[in-house]
Amino acid sequence: MLQQLEGSRAIAETVARCRPEVVCAYPISPQTHIIEAIGAMVKDGRLTGCEFINVESEYAAMSVSIGASAAGARSYTATASQGLLFMIEAVYNAAGLGLPVVMTLANRAIGAPINIWNDHSDAMAVRDAGWIQLFAETNQEAADLHVQAFRLAETLSVPVMVCMDGFILTHAVEAVDLIDPAVVDSFLPPYEPRQVLDPDDPVSIGAMVGPEAFEEVRYLAHLRQLDALELIPSVAEEFAALTGRPSGGLLHPYRLEDAETVIVAMGSVLGTIKDAVDARREAGERVGVLGVTAFRPFPVAAVASALAGARRVIVLEKAFSLGMGGVLATDVATASPASGHDLATVVAGLGGRPITRRDVEGILERSGRGTLPRLSFLNLDEDVVARERARMAASRRSGPFAENVLRDVASGGAFR
């Protein structure tokens, strides 16, 4: 039934319909509303057969999920930003052990400087951990992806992270068609583990593996990711047949037919970009958008095929690798027909800075004029940067640079 509700509430309701057996909770903005709502559902008896555990850290949240999953329970948790980094050892471990934990990542910037707002730095920090990472464009898709996530995870024995933009999606109230519990039950069979801690059939899980077999074990994990490239679209198709909704899959192409310039992006910013593309199309420009839903595994072949007709490719991403540049852009480059100055990275939306339709149109304009650099930072105030560089050059004890920049911005450039 279509309802107007907060994104976090939509996720909680959907996760509950997936019948999780162990849910761990540790508060960190902006995911907290999700686990609060699930906790309330367990307390009031709406969600039965589920152990809801308030743990003492994100590290424990993922560790409890590991234990529960290894014991054959459907396990779920949610985190963001610093929380993901605090649990990162266990994040790798869950994937290494092949445990199908599902986790919501309410994407948020990573400090220092501390910042609670949205960008994709957290997801990028664990891109090599061995998790499937799916990015949601809307709250509808975020909710639907959770149902698909459990199915993918349990079929492949690989953990899945559903990435949704913190605040922009988690705190937005918009219409979401909550999935019918009967549809979930038909789509998502009870979890049948490949490996399980069973006293009546004891196995050792988590043994040390030496050089004689480590590479093969890691390669098998890689193959499961490649299997996911096949399974993600078929699961999305099956889901669409049941619900009529095009959620999930590898990519979301939009107006790519005959597009000379294509913007590649992930997450909620795709909506804003689509509005910009529609506006430019009306002005007669041949532009399109390629939304990347599956970031890990990265669909190289599908991206190459989607971009085959493009002359210029612009990767707009909410994260970057310091000292290098775009992260998504590096992956896109392996699949893009465009290269050199025809492949541009625009880093945007860091720490919650808004990305507007006008911004996107401006990027397209510059690209059309050939003035879009290979790497640029959207709406970067270069004067602020230059002034801090000058302060650093002028004095060894120039002080903490984040605080200097804040003073500078607050004083309109008067801070010396």
Partner 1 sequence: MRIHGRGGQGVVTAAELLAVAAFDQGRHAQAFPSFGSERTGAPVVSYCRIDDREIRTREPIDEPDAVIVQDVTLVGHVDLFAGLSPTGYVLVNTSRPLAELVSSAEFATLPEGHVAGCPATELALAHVGRAVPNVPLLGAFCALTGEVPLEALARALRRRFRAEVAERNVAAASAAYELVSRHEEAHRAPTA
Partner 2 sequence: MSESRVHFYQVGSFAVGNRLLADADRTVQASPERTNSLDSGHRACQGCGEALGARYALDAAMRATGGQLVAVNATGCLEVFSTPFPETSWRIAWLHSLFGNAPAVATGVAAAMRAKGRHDVRVVGQAGDGGTVDIGFGTLSGMFERNDDVLFICYDNEGYMNTGVQRSAATPPAARTATSEALGADPGNVFGQGKDLPRLAMAHDIPYVATATVADLHDLERKVERAMTFRGARYLHVLVPCPLGWGAASADTVRLARLAAESGFFPVFEAEHGVVTGVRRIRRRVGVEEYLRPQRRFAHLFAGEGRPDLVARLQAIADANVERYGLAPEEE
Q: Would you tell me which residues interact with partner 1 (CB under 8 A)?
A: 4, 6, 29-30, 116-118, 165-168, 171-175, 268-272, 274-275, 352, 354-357
Contact criterion met (CB below 8 Å) for 86 and 137: no
Contact criterion met (CB below 8 Å) for 261 and 285: yes
Contact criterion met (CB below 8 Å) for 372 and 316: no
Q: How far is the CB of 359 from partner 1 (least distance, A)?
A: 8
Q: How far is the CB of 377 from partner 1 (least distance, A)?
A: 18
What number of chain residues touch partner 2 (CB under 8 A)?
Answer: 44
Considering only residues 11 through 30, tell me which ones interact with partner 2, judged by CB under 8 A: 21-22, 24
How would you label 208-233 residue by residue, b for 16+ Cβ within 10 Å and e otherwise? eeeeeeeeeeeeebeebbeebbebbb
> Based on CB atoms, which residue is closest to partner 2, 73 or 132?
73
Q: In the sheet that 294-296 helps form, which strands lie side by side, from edge to edge?
A: 51-54, 22-25, 75-79, 102-107, 160-165, 132-135, 294-296
Contact of residue 356 among partner 1, partner 2, none (CB under 5-8 Å per partner type): partner 1
> Based on CB atoms, which residue is closest to partner 1, 167 or 295?
167
Q: How far is the CB of 60 from partner 2 (least distance, A)?
A: 4
Find tokens 């392996």 and name the residue: 334
Contact criterion met (CB below 8 Å) for 178 and 10: yes
Q: How far is the CB of 73 from partner 2 (least distance, A)?
A: 3
Bond before 193 cis per omega within 30 degrees: no
- State the Cα–Cα distance between residues 189 and 185, nearest whole angstrom: 6
> Based on CB atoms, which residue is closest to partner 2, 202 or 370?
202
Hey, what are 357's tokens?
């339709």
C-beta neighbour count of 334 within 10 angstroms = 10
Q: Which residue stretch of 47-55, 151-159, 353-361, 402-410 sits at the interface with partner 2 (rule: CB under 8 A)?
A: 47-55
- List the x/- string, 191-210, binding to partner 2 by CB under 8 A: ------xxxxxxxxxxxxxx
Told to check if 69 binds partner 2 by CB under 8 A, we report yes
Integer-rounded Cα radius of gyration of the chain: 22
Residue choice 18, 28, 38, 66 for contact with partner 2 (CB under 8 A): 66
> Based on CB atoms, which residue is closest to partner 2, 42 or 105?
42
Contact of residue 98 among partner 2, partner 1, none (CB under 5-8 Å per partner type): none
Contact positions vs partner 2 (CB under 8 A): 21-22, 24, 49-51, 53-57, 59-60, 63-73, 75, 89-90, 93, 97, 197-210, 213
